[in-house]
Structure 1
């Protein structure tokens, strides 16, 4: 490719899967078990050869499941843990949720279920006196703020401008690594067919009763048919903060601290092509969650906001009336949803519009949410990670021969580039992606799944359904600040060692 072509059509990439410490397919725990088992078998063999053989067989039965891994890196023990958790929840009846006045739940209200059940909503005002909602996750003592924006479209935009937006977004993500107390962030892009409510409220009241009948008929037909060919798109950014361990702070002080940070965060979003951005109020957050669980009320919510300036909806009534979690689907009020988890990011380089098809409205779906999850890493840890990856890549390149050496050499170049960028101030961020599709009935779910698979192929992504975790995965794609790594039963460090 010529230099001129590279400038006109820039590419991006150099993301790398975190390297797991260990021998071959074994993690750190498996590697320790292998070498410890060898030493134990040698000592036992001094007393009895049969006993040593029994030790080897027993250790092989325990360690071999750690060596068999799926494409996304999970071993047999992790797969069994998911199935055991599913059967336990099903036996306890927690896969079914009922709320409201006729339910046995105290209060008789429609609280959100699952991971959102212990969330309470606070509200404060930022430096511009705008109200903003704060979601307090009491089970983890985390606080989440939600920002809404309307990104500028990529059509008819110069490649240089797109490249500047990408660079500004990278700087915004790098800034998150220095945000005190930040545990994670997410970008949620939600698309849905246009209900036509906004257009009807704008056009119909302005039609003159004395206008010619033909003109009135044309305007009414436009209002009726336009929504069938259009869609609405909403973009939300969530930032979840935690308090230092052992340090107690008043809730009022935390809300005031978050209010000071909002203007700077909004400025970074605008410079990265986010368009007009503002924090979401507590009422607006409740409306988003309410529509996600019951898509049929989207038009009513929008109509109430247009006519009265708000709905008055409270967080305690933002949840569904009933939900049923299945192995491969999540049924809630007027919708049925399925969520996919990222298995493998695109290899090599990509262009700026690689996710465009996935982010656009998908025909045949009621709603679709694409959530990018980010876990910023502090600068000190980032330096250790990139240096460790650099040494590992160099060792693999010098220890392999033949055709594999080309890929190993590429790994070395990527690791070197990452180390240079980190040393010059770039941030290191772990990311993942989740996609949730909502339809009206179970019969439509198969067609929607085929549509998603086609979109993933165009985006060069490999994803898998979140089977036996659909309810939790659905909550993670809502703009509510649910960070999956904060809610695992097994600590993240131990999970990585497996």
Structure 2
């Protein structure tokens, strides 16, 4: 007799990109060290005092580059963040007021911050379905939002989960070949179920001549079921850019996006996305409106159930007032705090590693988990994996003891990554952001403890987005805000710091 043991697939092997340069200095710091040494040696030929006069400021200037936080930021970056927050607070940029009684032109409730200049239009795809397009004029980017209802992992065979993961990886690899794609995000939003949808589905179907007991049971179900359930929505945003030097009309861009939508939706469906569909401009405005004012969620559902829509426009999707503080963001009827990923789960994990993080958190009004993806083209992917492979081999041959053992593990991971990339797998940079919204500021401390427990169970390390809560809140909305596209310093230079 032979026994067969069921093997459960595991995942992992994600790697943090290696920083070029010597140790924690980075590429800029390394050039500063070697350039400074050359200048000091030349100065020593003239005078020893002159050499020391140059060496001391050089050491003081380069020392902050060697001290880094757990997420890789150096002292200069932390100081820049604090200076930027002080400047915004001095100018009053941390306060936002809109509407007819405000001084803003138009008297409408436009979204604040990074979304203030965004405009919304609508097109029709190949199946004549409306889809909204958000235009970011400062960067000339266009965003489409896809909604889907994932099947979930309950009562699903591990083999099927493995197939879904493989197809999801294939869908992400295809994004690297999407012309003009700058980034994508998957946003999972959870909130307590207000019971509006259930009430509109059940109560109108109760017949007047139904038995009193049956009517009482159905009414009790409608009343009590929402207290123990939650609603979950999943959105996929894709942000495209126009190549530099090209001038394309907005209508031409929308027509191009309309052709791509059916193929993107079919890939989501095959990867376990369930029923996938494009979101109209009105639906996108509703999602953003509810995020800024959670108290109107039931009213939006009622209007959609009774009238088929709300008629809400993008210009009225923002809050009436918002206040940004160091560790929170107050907006209309909610107070939010956002966390940023600092370290992905180490080692191998199972498919359910993020399940607790994605589920509704008790004591919160709304919660959004945003996975941000930055696809890398095939040529750059090959160069990156080969560079990591050579670096890992060098560390393995030059280390000793525990360092050599860790380096050997790095070599195996780098070899596996290189083999998978050569076989056709795509290379994608990813991050994670989490936003929690509560009713009162006093509830934020308890929500923070709950999130800390959830992140520990999911084996991820996150930190609050202090002094940039408003911008981080916008990044977790299905509006196509990509952090690396909003920085003044290019992404390539930031990697060299």
| Same fold by TM-score greater than 0.5 | yes
SS at match of 1:323: strand
Give the CA deviation at 1:103: 0.2
TM-superposition CA deviations, 1:16-35 (whole Å, max 9, x none): 00001010111000001111
Aligned to 1:362: 361
Superposition pairs for residues 373-412 of structure 1, below 5 Å?
A: 373-412=372-411
Unaligned runs of 5+ in 2: none
In structure 1, the partner of 2:237 is 238
Instruction: Give the corresponding residue for 1:118.
Output: 117
Residues 32-181 of structure 1 mapped to structure 2, 5 A cutoff: 32-181=31-180
Distance 2:401 2:70 in 1: 24
| SS state at 2:203 partner | helix
Tell me the distance in 2 between the aligned counterparts of 1:257 and 1:199. Answer: 38
CA distance in 2, matches of 1:84, 1:493: 23
d(CA) in 1 for partners of 2:69, 2:419: 32
Q: Equivalents in 1 of 2:490, 2:375: separation in Å?
A: 18
Equivalent position SS for 1:353: coil
- CA–CA separation in structure 1 for the residues paired with 2:495 and 2:152: 38
- Number of aligned residue pairs: give it: 496
Equivalent position of 1:335 in the other structure: 334
User: What's the CA shift for 1:217?
Assistant: 2.8
TM-score between both structures, scaled by the size of structure 2: 0.98
TM-score by length of 1: 0.98
Give the equivalent residue in structure 2 for 1:314.
313
* Aligned match of 1:487: 486
Within 2, Cα distance between the matches of 1:392 and 1:90? 44
2:12 paired residue number:
13
SS in 1 for 2:24: coil
1:337-486 map, 5 Å: 337-486=336-485
Q: Extract unaligned runs of 5+ from structure 1.
A: none
Alpha-carbon shift at residue 3 of structure 1 (Å): 11
Measured against aligned partners, the alpha-carbon deviations of 1:63-98 in whole angstroms (never above 9, x if no partner) come to 000110000000000001110110010000010000
CA pair 358-4 structure 1, distance change in 2 beyond 3 A: farther
Paired position in structure 1 for 2:251: 252
* Equivalent pair of 1:44/1:51 in contact (CA under 8 Å): yes
Task: Look up the SS of the partner of 1:26 in the other structure.
Answer: helix
Q: Name the CA distance, whole Å, in 2 between partners of 1:206 and 1:492.
A: 56
Correspondence 1:31 to 2:30: yes
Following superposition, the deviation at residue 113 of structure 1 comes to 0.5
After TM superposition, give the deviation of residue 4 of structure 1 in Å: 5.4
Q: How does 1:184-333 map to 2 (within 5 A)?
A: 184-333=183-332
Write out per-residue CA displacement over residues 285-336 of structure 1, whole angstroms, 9 at most, x where no aligned residue.
Answer: 0000000000000000011111111000000000000000000000000000
Which stretch has the larger CA shift, 284-293 or 199-208?
Answer: 199-208
Q: Secondary structure at the match of 2:401?
A: coil
Query: What secondary structure is seen at the aligned counterpart in 1 of 2:53?
Result: helix
SS in 2 for 1:8: coil
- Superposed CA deviations along residues 443-495 of structure 1, whole A, max 9, x for unmatched, are 10000000000100111000000000000000000000000000012211111
- 1:328-385 CA distance string (max 9 Å, x none): 0000000000000000001110000100000001100000000000000000111111
Alpha-carbon distance change, 30 to 3 in structure 1, aligned in 2, over 3 angstroms: farther
CA distance in 1: counterparts of 2:420 and 2:211, whole angstroms: 66
Does the residue aligned with 1:262 lie in a helix, a strand or coil? helix
* Range 416-425 or range 363-372, more displaced: 416-425
Contact 1:371-1:477 at 8 Å conserved across structures: yes
Q: Distance in 2 between matches of 1:99 and 1:151?
A: 36
Alpha-carbon distance between aligned partners in 1 of 2:347 and 2:450, rounded to the nearest angstrom:
25
d(CA) in 1 for partners of 2:203 and 2:271? 37
Supply the distance in 2 between the matched residues of 1:24 and 1:200 (Cα, whole angstroms).
61
Q: Contact conserved, 1:8 with 1:160, CA < 8 A, in 2?
A: no
**2-structure distance, mates of 1:496, 1:8:** 39
Distance across 2 between alignment mates of 1:334 and 1:24: 47
Tell me, what secondary structure is at the counterpart of 2:494? Answer: helix
Q: Is the 8 A contact 1:287 1:318 kept in 2?
A: yes
Cα deviation per residue 1:23-68 (whole Å; 9 max; x = unaligned)? 0111000001111111111111111111211211100110000110
Cα distance in 1 between the residues matched to 2:374 and 2:201: 42
2-structure distance, mates of 1:48, 1:278: 73
Change (3 A) 1:324 1:423: same
Q: Provide the rounded CA distance (Å) in 2 between the counterparts of 1:216 and 1:247.
A: 64
Find the aligned partners of 1:256 and 1:210 in 2 and give their Cα distance.
53
Pairwise CA distance, 1:159: 0.5
Q: Distance in 1 between matches of 2:17 and 2:242?
A: 27
